[in-house]
């Protein structure tokens, strides 16, 4: 993951008056630091309508072209700063990581589930990280190789016949299969079907305009997320009744106890299952799609063993991520104010 060139979009909730710069030595004479260039759009809605009326990539690329690697905007209800360069990504995620904390817009948190790993820090985050990593150990994956191969072969077979397929969509189907295998092991077909159906609706609404108006993609996604909770609680209840101690992610989540012997609640387990599915599906599908593209352009690459790493280097899989500044931060003569979210 470290090798990926992230474009870092920082969305800032303008709140506190600009007073002291966190990174500045107090004995130094006060420098004049400006806010990044850019437009905050209309009161309240900012530039959210512009974002949704065009391809978000075009929206951000046009701004980047006009203002450069750092600019401000106001979208999804937050005054924000966007940082878009590998140097900025390193500043926020590595060298000055202590000045930022992970955050996500509330609309996305509601769809994934507030107890998912991404929205936490500290002991709870550490505990979940160990659980997720444990479920992906070599030992656990070795047990799944035959099933993963069967899923890959079934996917390849379904592409026979000379019809046109959308590689990314097909890879999403495959990564969903492998994701559910890693999370649940073998799942009954009726559960799998219901999970897939409702997860697709959540996925569709995830990047849509957040509103409670019935019939909109976001509202439909919220309703589907509720249904996912019901399906997951049935699966969890069944697993508990059978007292199975599987090594898949669900098993690891069910078996985990904190230092006081407390187990995770069913809701926390459900949020983390949906969270891992989200983290795993599009990322893996993107990288597999790029691999197919590069292999098609240069079949000789197949001889090398670094196809995956090289694809990750060439193609940015995650185009944005979120952080909130925990203090006022100066970057290249511009101020990023505290309590602000960045993508
Ligand atoms: C090539 C594929 C993948 C890429 C490029 C990728 C990329 C990333 C990145 C950049 C982050 C950090 C986001 C941030 O800090 O804001 C992240 C976090 C995470 N990813 Fe992946 N990911 C991939 C595959 C997966 C898979 C298959 C899983 C399944 C378990 C997964 C689970 C997670 C989890 C649980 C986190 C949160 C970690 C934490 O908060 O400590 N990812 N991923």
CATH superfamily of domain region 117-314: Cytochrome P450 (1.10.630.10)
Helix/strand/coil for 98: helix
The DSSP bridge pattern shows strands 100-102 and 334-336 to be unpaired
Closest C-alpha to ligand 1, atom 32: 279
Encode pLDDT of 276-330 as tens digits.
999 999 999 999 999 889 888 887 777 765 666 777 777 776 667 778 787 888 8
Task: Give the position, in ligand 1's atom list, of the atom nearest the Cα of 4.
Answer: 5
DSSP codes of every residue in 252-284: HHHH-B-TT-PBPPHHHHHHHHHHHHHHHHHHH
Q: Is the model more confident about 243 or about 114?
A: 114
CB 79 within 8 A of CB 72: yes
Element (H, E) at 325: strand 323-325
Q: What is the Å distance from ligand 1's center to 40 Cα?
A: 31
pLDDT score of 208 more than 60: yes
The residues, any chain, with a CB within 8 Å of residue 254's CB and separated by 6 or more, are 236, 239, 240, 263, 264, 269
Q: Which of 14-28, 111-125, 321-335 has the lowest mean pLDDT?
A: 14-28
Q: What is the mean pLDDT of the chain?
A: 84
d(CA 11, CA 270) in angstroms, rounded, equals 28
Closest CA to 203 of 221, 215, 216, 180: 221
> Which of the listed residues 90, 112, 180, 279 should we mutate to test ligand 1's pocket, taking the one with most ligand atoms within 8 A of CB?
279
d(CA 263, CA 250) in angstroms, rounded, equals 13
Q: What is the mean pLDDT of residues 13-23?
A: 33
Which letter, b or e, does each residue of 292-331 get, where b requires 16 or more Cβ atoms within 10 Å of its Cβ? eebeeeeeeeeeeeebeebbbeebebebbbbbbbebbbbb
Closest C-alpha to ligand 1, atom 22: 283
Residue with the two structure tokens 């909109």? 216
Task: Give the position, in ligand 1's atom list, of the atom nearest the Cα of 317.
Answer: 5
Residue 73 has a pLDDT of 92
Encode pLDDT of 62-71 as tens digits.
999 999 999 9
Residue 18 has phi, psi (to 5 degrees) of -75, 110
CB 233 within 8 A of CB 274: no
Q: What is the mean pLDDT of residues 39-43?
A: 91
Closest C-alpha to ligand 1, atom 4: 283
List strands edge to edge, sheet with 323-325: 10-12, 340-342, 323-325, 100-102
Closest C-alpha to ligand 1, atom 29: 280
pLDDT score of 259 more than 60: yes
CB 301 within 8 A of CB 295: yes
- Residue 14: pLDDT band with limits 50, 70, 90: very low
Domain with CATH 1.10.630.10 in the chain: 117-314
Encode pLDDT of 2-11 as tens digits.
333 344 444 4
Task: Give the position, in ligand 1's atom list, of the atom nearest the Cα of 136.
Answer: 30
pLDDT score of 340 more than 70: no
* Most distant CA pair in the chain, distance: 73
pLDDT score of 144 more than 90: yes
Q: What is the mean pLDDT of residues 199-213?
A: 91
Residue 17 has a pLDDT of 30
pTM of the model: 0.80
Residue 16 has a pLDDT of 29
Residue 178 has a pLDDT of 95
**Length of the chain in terms of residues written:** 343
**Pocket of ligand 1, beta carbon within 6 A:** 1, 4, 102, 117-118, 129, 132, 136, 276, 279-280, 283-284, 287, 317-318, 321
């Amino acid at each position: 993951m470290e090798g990926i060139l992230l474009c870092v979009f920082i969305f800032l909730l303008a709140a506190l008056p600009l007073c002291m710069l966190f990174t500045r030595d107090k004995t130094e004479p006060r420098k004049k630091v400006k806010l990044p260039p850019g437009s905050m759009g209309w009161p309240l809605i900012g530039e959210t309508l512009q974002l949704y009326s065009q391809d978000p990539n075009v929206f951000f690329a046009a701004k980047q072209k006009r203002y450069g690697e750092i600019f401000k905007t106001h979208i999804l209800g937050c005054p924000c700063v966007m940082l878009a360069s590998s140097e900025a990504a390193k500043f926020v995620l590595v060298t000055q990581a202590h000045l930022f904390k992970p955050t996500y817009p509330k609309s996305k948190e509601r769809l994934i589930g507030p107890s998912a790993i991404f929205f936490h820090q500290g002991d709870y985050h550490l505990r979940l990280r160990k659980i997720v990593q444990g479920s992906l150990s070599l030992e656990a994956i070795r047990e799944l190789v035959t099933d993963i191969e069967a899923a890959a072969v079934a996917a390849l077979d379904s592409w026979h016949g000379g019809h046109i397929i959308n590689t990314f969509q097909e890879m999403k189907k495959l990564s969903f299969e492998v994701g559910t295998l890693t999370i649940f092991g073998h799942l009954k077909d009726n559960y799998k079907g219901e999970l897939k159906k409702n997860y697709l609706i959540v996925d569709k609404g995830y990047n849509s305009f957040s509103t409670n108006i019935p019939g909109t993609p976001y509202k439909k996604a919220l309703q589907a997320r509720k249904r996912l909770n019901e399906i997951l609680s049935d699966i969890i209840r069944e697993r508990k009744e059978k007292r199975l101690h599987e090594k898949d992610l669900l098993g690891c989540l069910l078996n985990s106890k904190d230092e006081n012997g407390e187990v995770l609640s069913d809701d926390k387990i459900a949020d983390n299952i949906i969270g891992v599915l989200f983290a795993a599906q599009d990322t893996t599908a993107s990288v597999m799609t790029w691999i197919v593209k590069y292999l098609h352009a240069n079949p000789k690459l197949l001889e090398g063993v670094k196809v995956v790493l090289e694809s990750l280097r060439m193609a940015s899989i995650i185009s944005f991520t979120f952080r909130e500044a925990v203090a006022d931060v100066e970057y290249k003569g511009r101020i990023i104010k505290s309590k602000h979210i960045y993508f």
